[in-house]
Every structure is written in C-alpha cells, then in structure tokens.
Structure 1
C-alpha cells in the first residue's frame, strides 16, 4: 500500500516520539506503512505529491494558530507555515486527511480563519463527546456509542462551523469536537491516538506550558487513569482502514 504521511508539530522530541508511536499503534500502522516528518527539524519532501500517499495524518502540538506572529517562536512559525502550505491541495482535491487537536485548528484557520481563544478552550482532561445525527451516519463513526469520553487539552478552538464542513461530534465544553470537510478531510479537537499512559507523558512534558498549574500534574494524571477512554482510537483506526490503498 501507499504510506500514510504523518506530520508532527511537536518541537519536543520525547512528546513527538510518544505521539508517533501512539498514532501507529492505534492506527494499526507498521514502519513500512508510514512516512514520518517532524516539521520542527525537517522540511517537507521536495516536490511532495499527495498521490504518493494513502492519506495525511497531522498530530497535535503546543502551538496556536491564533497567536499573533510576534508571539510565535521561529520553530512554531516554521511548523505552522509548512503544514498550512499543504491545506489548499488537500481541501481542493478532497484528499484523505486526519487532523488531531492542532490539526482542527489548522483546518479551521485555512477554511475560515475562525480559530481563537475567545471560547471553548478545554483544560487537560476528558470531554463528554456525543455523536451528532451526521456523525451517526459517517463511516469513521460507524458503530460507535452515542456518547464517549475523549482526552482533550487546548487553549484555542473553532468558534463556528466553517462553510462546507459537516459537524460529526459535539461536547458541552467545546461544540466542535469532530468535523468533516467534503467527503474525506477530517479533524478532531480531541486526541484519537491518546490513552491514559500517553496523556500522562504529555502532562509531565507540558506542565510548564500554561495548560494547567504545575502543581496539578499529579491529580491530572490520576484523573486520566481513572477515566474510561477507549472509543476515540477506533476513529483513527477507521480512517486508516478506509483509506489504506
């Protein structure tokens, strides 16, 4: 099969490595099934052709597309610039895409520039997700329970549904938890690749990044291990199975 292009936006090596392993494990992908690019330290392949890949998976990261340019480090600006450079071709071709957390910000910014910190930021924890009517009919959500928990933690969010998007999953804390543009371009606000162990690692890595008070780290880790988060990974696996070519 053609490999999946996995773009990583985390400038912390440990976090990027853990996320990559989680995406591969939850998606059922082996080393031969992926092409990994860490945008903090690598450039996109020269003359990148989307037709060489089964799909594109974009991971999360500590950056915010809504931050002013002067608030971004050179690495954050480079990461954002590179990933956004692919979005016109992805949306114009309706190319298989799964954006996770930061990925929904990238898609929303490209389509409508309506991502901000005004509303819907979610502290590190779980969201009470619910399938919408459209979500119940979507192939990636087929067979999922009506309600499920998912790990979240983000400062910015979509403020409205971009034109051309379908609303698939909602939550009281942040309404736009999963959307689809066209037929094949997906994004989630929650982390479909993350389990409790993965979120514990991220809490330790990002406890000084402003998501929560550092002294709350241990209680947040305990909360993650007490949560029942098993459904979101099925969305990632369904994406891989649907577009594996």
Structure 2
C-alpha cells in the first residue's frame, strides 16, 4: 500500500510521541504505513501526493489567529509550508484529515474567520452531526451526537461557502467540516483517549489553557464522560482512502 503521512508540530517529546502512537493505534496502521514528519524540527519535505494514500495533521501549539509579530520563525515557516501544500491538496481534492490544527490550516486556506469567540476549555463536549454530517460517508459509523475531547484557544466563527459544515458543539459552531469530497478538518481530537489527554494536560499546564490552580479541575473534566466514538473517524479514513 501507499503510506499515509502524519504532519506534526509538537516540540515536547512525550506528547509528540504519544500523539504518533495514538494515530497508529486508532488508524490500525504500522510505522512504515504512517510516516511521521515533525515540522517543528525542520522544513516540510517534498510530498509526492501520487505516492501517498492520504495526509493526517495532528494538533499543536500554533494559533492561526495570533498577530504576526507574536508568531515564532518556526510558526511562520510551518504556516507557509501548509499554505503551499493545501494549494495542491484542495485543488486535487486529495485525502486530508486535520485534527484541531487542521481547522487553523484549512480554515486559513479558505479565508475562514478564525478568532477566539468560540474557544473551549480542555474538556469533554457533546458533538452533534449536521444533516450533511449524517450523510457523509466518512461519518457513517458515527452516532448523531457523541462525546469528544476538546481544548483550543481559537476556532472558526464563520465558515466560507465552499466548505460544508459536518458537526457542531454547544460552544463551538464549527467542530468539523469538509472541502470538496475528501478534505476534512476537525476542531475536536479524534485521536485522543483519556491517557493521551492527561499527558497533554500536564505537558501544557503553563500554556494558558487553564489557570494555575485548575489542574485538578481540568483532569476531572476530561473524565466526566466516556469518549470512544471519535477514533472511528480515523479508522474510516484509512479504510476509505488506502490505495
């Protein structure tokens, strides 16, 4: 088979390695079938889409809505690399699934309004499929409403017309959307389990996602409901696009 690629941006070793392990587990792919590229460590290599089955994007520390002067040189590089890649991905309608940072990358490419009006604290939220989501082949196995892990400082407030809204949550109107037939982005994390998000809570405790005295409350918030359905999206993506 032609491999998939995971484009990652986490600099912290433990959450970065766990993210890759979670994608391997829930996609069912082996390490030679899911190639990890750590963009925070170096430039994006040339990707020949004809030699790939699809592309995944993990979450990360970058916010598309940050002022340019607040962005590091690495973030500016990564954003430019994603802009070039998405020009080709969207034009070819190539299989792409961006988790969390996928909203920032694909949303920016579309000219979506990305701001902090619909941020969500690290927690478990109910995500509900739209009519288009219920009809989407990638989401055929998903219940109409399911629990998912979230935690993001920015989100899409206004989705341009080329995109199709697939799912929403009470505080965040755009939890998942599609461009064309094969380019997807989620605001929630389909790759996470409770152990994985616990690692991230500890790793990013001083990154402004919650207050200094809210660690235990945040840990409790991600345990208040069972989360299992979102990983079905990763499995479905691999089943649909492997070639």
- Quickly name the TM-score band, shorter chain normalised: over 0.9
Q: CA RMSD of the aligned region, Å?
A: 1.2
Q: Secondary structure at the match of 1:226?
A: coil
Q: Which ranges of structure 1 fall in alignment gaps of 5 or more residues?
A: none
Q: Secondary structure at the match of 2:21?
A: helix
Alignment deviations for residues 70-102 of structure 1 (CA, whole Å, 9 cap, x no partner): 101222222222222211000000000000001
Pair 1:208 & 2:206 matched: yes
> Normalization by structure 1: what TM-score?
0.95
Q: How far apart in 1 are the matches of 2:141 and 2:3?
A: 26
Q: How far apart in 2 are the matches of 1:144 and 1:221?
A: 26
Structure with bigger helix share is 1
What does 1:127-166 align with in structure 2 at a 5 Å threshold? 127-166=125-164
> Normalization by structure 2: what TM-score?
0.96
Q: Which ranges of structure 2 fall in alignment gaps of 5 or more residues?
A: none
Q: How far apart in 2 are the matches of 1:66 and 1:21?
A: 29
CA contact (8 A) 1:129 1:171 kept: yes
Q: Secondary structure at the match of 1:167?
A: strand
Q: Secondary structure at the match of 2:44?
A: coil
Q: Secondary structure at the match of 2:158?
A: coil
Counterpart in the other structure of 1:68: 67
Q: Secondary structure at the match of 1:238?
A: helix
Give the deviation of 1:43 after TM superposition. 2.0
Q: How far apart in 1 are the matches of 2:89 and 2:59?
A: 18
Counterpart in the other structure of 2:76: 77
What does 1:25-174 align with in structure 2 at a 5 Å threshold? 25-46=25-46, 48-117=47-116, 119-174=117-172
CA contact (8 A) 2:19 2:191 kept: yes
Q: How far apart in 2 are the matches of 1:224 and 1:108?
A: 26
Q: How far apart in 1 are the matches of 2:214 and 2:16?
A: 23
Give the deviation of 1:113 after TM superposition. 4.2
